[in-house]
């Protein structure tokens, strides 16, 4: 790190600011389009501040596309349920792999590692066939159940619990608590930092998922927002003001979550990436 | 002895609770991961009828033989390999460059890190729509290009540049994720190594070449493998960009998009699964080649 002292700091700043601008321009350009009128959009100007500022696009998307609210609801409910189950199940599995002695423990751990390297798309078509034979196409459980556990985060939770102080559990055992009581009353409450990182990743992953809902949901009332957005784009392809407003409605909640919890994102990436 | 130890009540209870903790994981990964993988391998040798009740007929290697004469398979493979070969090195180098810059004791570095990471948390659907809006023929990118008197393109409609548009977008969207991973690895390098090197009179460049780079080898392996897996499976962006067609003129047709088309447009599930196995084989080969290149890597 000392080496940096010899670098011209000004040059570094110019580079960083330039890259920050490159990062922000697409978002601000989309945000600005969402407040412009169709006439202004079509004229092809490159002004970031709308000539006439309007909220009409946001009003119109809910009127033009009555299912828009429904898609938002579908996305939210699926992401919430998936997140809750993942927190519970990944932690349970990670804890068992790290701390509980049972025959097959190491074998299961190696299976989890093997799962990490299976490309997700390979399982897509058979997953579709299985969901079809279960009668789960066009249902919430079709999106939720296959994604309620996540090998990456089981691995991460195992690493976390390996470093967890043993004394706390021993004290709990002396108090006569069994494994389940120990886990839910002592261990889980102390795992908050790992759970926070996981919450954000799982929620965002589910909220942004495109391929699985595209395959599972064919009934427009069951679309999640990414699929709905794509269908909406197909209908209103020249109405970029509407498309950008719809995109912003979908993005702003995620950005708000990110703004508040970005610390945990970075931690989560470090957890999953840095450890391996 | 052995018997009494095995039936020791505490050990049995312990083992039982272990299996109970693992039950959700075993069931879900079993039904929606292990079973699908087996299913994929078996069905790739069958003709699958999806209409009405699903039925199968064994066809041997027919699905695999058919690939050779399928022109669209070669186009998709070519597009995908080209995409991987360009995007992975650029995004890895960009991520490394950004991480090295942010690893300096510069003011506001955590602010820059948070800002750069923004595209990574945005949905691929939204990013693709935003970039389509920017790529529009009278859109922002062309305005900027013509302002600098550079040639402008019909980014969405011209087969020569459509895939490049997706490449630019994905480098922009993915590099920050790997930047954060690099940054974490850089912070793990013991400061004492640099201090010792400084005493020996090493220059900045020598320190970078002999300490930083070797230390980053394992994480670079990880970043490249993740990059390979991600780019080989390109789908969302191509699908939205081309309305599911892979156009213009098959320019954005990727392997996963082709698989999707065969499975859900032509209802040719067996052939689509054979293509899936081919893709899995390509990805695993690429990963193994990487491993040769970067040496053995342990996960524990």
Q: What is the pTM of this model?
A: 0.89
Q: Please tell me the class of the A60-274 domain.
A: mainly alpha
Taking residues B159-173, report their average pLDDT.
94
User: Quick check: A266 and B219 CB within 8 A?
Assistant: no
pLDDT at position A47 = 84
pLDDT band for B4, please (50, 70, 90 cuts): low
Most confident of A6-15, A109-118, B20-29: B20-29
CA distance linking residue A210 with residue A230, whole number of Å: 10
pLDDT at position A270 = 64
CA distance linking residue B128 with residue A208, whole number of Å: 12
By Cβ distance, the residue of A25, A89, A119 closest to B283 is: A119
For chain A, the structural domain boundaries read 2-59, 60-274
Q: Specify the higher pLDDT residue, B19 or A122.
A: B19
Find the residue in A nearest to B109 (Cα).
A16
pLDDT band for B300, please (50, 70, 90 cuts): very low
pLDDT at B62 exceeding the cut of 50 = yes
pLDDT at position A74 = 96
By Cβ distance, the residue of A118, A204, A210 closest to B125 is: A210
Measured in residues, chain A has a length of 276
User: Would an 8 Å CB–CB cutoff place B6 in contact with chain A?
Assistant: no
By Cβ distance, the residue of B13, B26, B36 closest to A127 is: B36
User: Would an 8 Å CB–CB cutoff place B145 in contact with chain A?
Assistant: no
pLDDT tens-place string over residues A191-205: 887 888 788 889 888
Q: Specify the higher pLDDT residue, A51 or A193.
A: A51
Q: How far is B109 from chain A (nearest CA, A)?
A: 9
For chain B, the structural domain boundaries read 2-63, 64-294
Chain B contacts of A254, Cβ < 8 Å? Answer: 121-123
When scoring B42, B97, B126, B291 by the number of chain A Cβ atoms within 10 A, the one with the most, hence best to mutate, is B126
pLDDT at A1 exceeding the cut of 70 = no
pLDDT at position A212 = 94
Cα B179–Cα B180–Cα B181 angle in degrees, nearest 5: 90
Rounded to the nearest 5 percent, the helix, strand and coil shares of chain A are 80, 0, 20
CA distance linking residue A93 with residue B253, whole number of Å: 39
pLDDT tens-place string over residues A103-156: 999 999 999 888 877 777 788 999 999 999 899 999 999 999 999 999 989 988
CA distance linking residue A115 with residue A146, whole number of Å: 14
Find the residue in B nearest to A144 (Cα).
B28
pLDDT tens-place string over residues B201-246: 888 888 888 889 888 988 898 899 889 988 999 999 999 999 999 9
User: Quick check: B124 and A266 CB within 8 A?
Assistant: no
By Cβ distance, the residue of A23, A130, A247 closest to B129 is: A247
By Cβ distance, the residue of B18, B20, B36 closest to A126 is: B36
pLDDT tens-place string over residues A27-49: 999 999 999 998 888 887 778 88
By Cβ distance, the residue of A102, A111, A229 closest to B129 is: A229
Token pair in block for residue B59? 């066809």
When scoring A9, A16, A43, A268 by the number of chain B Cβ atoms within 10 A, the one with the most, hence best to mutate, is A16
Taking residues A225-254, report their average pLDDT.
89
pLDDT tens-place string over residues B105-152: 788 888 888 889 889 888 999 999 999 999 988 889 998 998 899 999
Chain B contacts of A122, Cβ < 8 Å? Answer: 36-37, 40, 276-277, 279-280
pLDDT band for A274, please (50, 70, 90 cuts): very low
ipTM of the complex: 0.87
Taking residues A83-89, report their average pLDDT.
96
Q: Which spans in A134-210 are helix H?
A: 140-144, 151-162, 166-174, 179-181, 192-208
Domain covering B64-294, topology: MetI-like fold (1.10.3720)
| Secondary element (H or E) of residue A104 | none
Q: How far is B184 from chain A (nearest CA, A)?
A: 6
**Which of B48, B43, B44 is closest to B64 using CA atoms?**
B44
CA distance linking residue A18 with residue A22, whole number of Å: 6
Chain A contacts of B106, Cβ < 8 Å? Answer: 4, 9, 12-13, 16
User: Quick check: B25 and A89 CB within 8 A?
Assistant: yes
pLDDT at B296 exceeding the cut of 60 = no
pLDDT at position A16 = 92
pLDDT at position A75 = 94
pLDDT at position A7 = 59
């Amino acid at each position: 790190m000392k080496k940096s002292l010899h670098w011209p700091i000004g040059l570094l700043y110019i580079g960083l600011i330039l890259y920050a601008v490159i990062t922000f321009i697409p978002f601000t350009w989309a945000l600005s389009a969402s407040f412009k009128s169709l006439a202004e959009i079509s004229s092809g100007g490159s002004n970031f501040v709308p000539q006439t500022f309007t909220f009409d696009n946001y009003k119109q998307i809910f009127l033009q596309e009555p299912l828009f609210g429904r898609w938002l609801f579908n996305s939210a409910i699926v992401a919430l349920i998936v997140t809750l189950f993942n927190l519970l199940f990944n932690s349970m599995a990670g804890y068992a792999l790290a701390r509980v002695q049972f025959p097959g423990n190491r074998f299961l751990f190696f299976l989890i590692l093997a799962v990490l390297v299976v490309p997700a798309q390979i399982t897509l078509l058979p997953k579709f066939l299985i969901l079809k034979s279960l009668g789960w196409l066009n249902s919430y459980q079709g999106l939720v159940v296959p994604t309620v556990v996540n090998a990456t985060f089981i691995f991460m939770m195992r690493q976390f619990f390996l470093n967890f102080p043993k004394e706390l559990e021993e004290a709990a055992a002396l108090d006569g608590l069994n494994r389940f009581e120990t886990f839910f009353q002592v261990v889980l409450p102390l795992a908050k930092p790992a759970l926070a990182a996981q919450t954000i990743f799982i929620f965002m992953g589910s909220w942004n998922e495109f391929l699985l809902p595209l395959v599972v949901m064919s009934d427009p009332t069951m679309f999640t927002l990414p699929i709905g957005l794509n269908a909406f784009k197909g209908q209103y392809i020249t109405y970029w003001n509407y498309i950008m407003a719809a995109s912003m409605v979908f993005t702003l909640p995620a950005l708000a979550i990110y703004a508040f919890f970005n610390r945990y994102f970075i931690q989560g990436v470090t957890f999953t990436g840095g450890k391996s | 002895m052995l018997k009494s130890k095995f039936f020791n009540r505490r050990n049995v209870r312990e083992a039982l609770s272990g299996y109970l903790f693992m039950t959700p994981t075993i069931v879900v990964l079993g039904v929606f991961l292990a079973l699908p993988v087996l299913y994929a391998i078996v069905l790739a040798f069958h003709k699958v009828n999806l209409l009405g009740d699903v039925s199968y007929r064994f066809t041997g290697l027919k699905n695999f033989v058919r690939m050779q004469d399928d022109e669209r398979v070669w186009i998709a493979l070519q597009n995908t390999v080209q995409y991987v070969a360009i995007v992975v090195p650029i995004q890895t180098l960009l991520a490394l460059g950004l991480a090295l810059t942010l690893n300096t004791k510069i003011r506001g570095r955590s602010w820059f890190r948070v800002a750069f990471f923004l595209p990574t948390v945005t949905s691929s659907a939204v990013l693709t729509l935003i970039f389509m809006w920017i790529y529009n023929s009278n859109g922002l990118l062309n305005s900027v290009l013509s302002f600098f008197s550079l040639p402008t393109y019909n980014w969405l409609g011209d087969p020569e540049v459509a895939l490049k548009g997706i490449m630019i977008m994905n480098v922009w969207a993915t590099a920050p994720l790997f930047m954060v991973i690099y940054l974490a690895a850089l912070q793990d390098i013991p400061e004492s190594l640099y201090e010792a090197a400084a005493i020996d009179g090493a220059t900045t460049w020598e320190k970078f070449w002999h300490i930083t780079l070797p230390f980053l080898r394992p994480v670079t392996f990880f970043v490249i493998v993740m990059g390979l897996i991600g780019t080989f499976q390109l789908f969302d962006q191509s699908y939205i960009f081309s309305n599911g067609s892979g156009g213009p003129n098959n320019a954005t047709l990727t392997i996963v998009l082709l698989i999707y088309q065969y499975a859900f447009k032509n209802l040719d599930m067996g052939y689509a699964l054979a293509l899936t196995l081919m893709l899995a084989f390509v990805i695993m080969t690429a990963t193994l080649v990487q491993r040769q290149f970067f040496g053995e890597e342990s996960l524990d």
